[in-house]
Amino acid sequence: MNLMSKNDFFDDAFGLLDSSFFKNSNNIMKTDISVKDGNYIIEIDVPGLRKEDITIDYDNGYVTISASKEEKKEENGKYIRRERYYGEYKRSFYVGDVNENDIKANYSDGTLTITLPKEEPKETKKRILID
């Protein structure tokens, strides 16, 4: 005998993906990183958020994008299915040395685009003399 939970019934009945897919943080803030004209370009999908809900920090070679979305309370009725995620999201990427004064960000149609101007690599090789 194969027993189904209430959630499995709705997944099966409507042919939808397993609801755990939507709760997995790996499926939130999908990101593409490319290099163009001496800049790193980071494009992140953050649909349903306002730009005021998003913060971008650069520290010691890492760019960190944080966003939060507050849950709306349903006053009339009960949910049969909830797939929209509420809470805090955070992603960090190592980009190395960039010109932090010229970092630009734009948010349009649910996509956050961050442009980070690459700096020339600094010479870190040094020969140490032995006494």
Domain boundaries, the chain: 6-117
Most confident of the ranges 29-38, 80-89, 119-128:
29-38
- Residue 64's pLDDT is 95
CATH architecture of 6-117: Sandwich (2.60)
- Residue 129's pLDDT is 86
Residue 32 has pLDDT above 70, yes or no: yes
What predicted TM-score, i.e. pTM, was given to this entire model? 0.68
Query: Going by C-beta distance under 8 Å and a sequence separation of 6 or more, which residues neighbour residue 19?
Result: 7, 11, 81, 82, 83
Please list, residue by residue across 104-124, b when 16 or more beta carbons sit within 10 angstroms of its beta carbon and e when fewer do: eeebeeeebebbbeeeeeeee
Q: Which tokens go with 115?
A: 């442009």
